[in-house]
Structure 1
């Protein structure tokens, strides 16, 4: 292969990589079958995230509302407005919203009524809406929503300020380093709080801390030799059994690979 041909081949490969990056990966924004606005639903109408994503606190997956659930509202809310009626326009956070000529996601004009008609079409055809996922986790990893929500993490931590944007987009890399830094910060706070109650936790080995975090409990004798006096009468019950201290285990120990990987 000549030197000139080699250079052309390399340049072609670089061009392909750059085009692919800017076309598919940089600021990736999926095109949904219906221009569903989180701003209008979650912001203007103050519909909580858990109304549509009902399983987010119960399962690893947040869940997506069925067409029937959407029609439960939009059977009555059809967004029919007279384009000449000035009362159709309302304000939200300093922005004037026109349901008949709304600038969706800053890139296209839509009419709310037309989008609801699309929804009605799915309902009449008895078809499911195939929404496009915009957050991807590698197949070898898992992101269970339930423990994160139960811990108190807000949706906007990973999904952005959904109350003020039409179409959410990834605001984090969802890479291992980002996940670990957050877990370690939260986990350290858990242990700091626990140490205020049981100072001897600082004397535990890394293995004992790891085991404690996994099981949600620690053997009393690991922290106190005179645990009956230290921990009160409740720990004198069932004298023939191991006395345990229960702890909050919402944040898993990060050094165990199985926490996040299959």
Structure 2
């Protein structure tokens, strides 16, 4: 959680994607910039990921419903006065911004519909970083990478867990909970929510067509940004000329600083 001289008691919540964690990609740098803009910042590890506790039921894995439970737990820190005072040292705070990557974007939009159904205040800014639109693509990707995943009931993956990278089992129920999301329902998000999407033009996991689909879904209140030569995690492709002279990480151009700049520019202008 980040804190600086506050102009207002606004909270920004950062959400990671599949097999990921709270420090992945742009999150640490974005958290610093958001805190410097006088916002509270909260980065979380969903259960089953990073430093958080295990999934409620290992047999079904990290389902989208479990992600929503985690987000509702976070929201209770805003609703509960004693938690507000303990965590944020203030009596009033509002969730103003959510920034989500990949699978986290689906959780973000579903969470907003849940808040809407409860007549709770919604964030003013929702930022979708490389979120999937059509779940069929996830099934196709899993089948391509793990041909027997449906017969086996899942597949093995590798990710950060308690400070080190480990192999862990992804049950098929976890994958299906994401693939079966009806994204067009997200259009019910009220017009008070301004939405930005940011995609790499060389995304190797989510089709770039998802960007235009989200733009059409939220037409009239949607800002779309593309990053040339960037992949799903905002790294440059092989042979990237690096015309912006960005830092190199893992032997590739790291476009995360540009992602942060684009998000901060959007928040400044909306």
How would you bin the TM-score normalised by the shorter chain? under 0.3
TM-score (norm 2): 0.23
Structure whose residues are more often strand by fraction: 2
Q: Which has the higher relative contact order, 1 or 2, with Cα contacts under 8 A spaced 6 or more apart?
A: 1
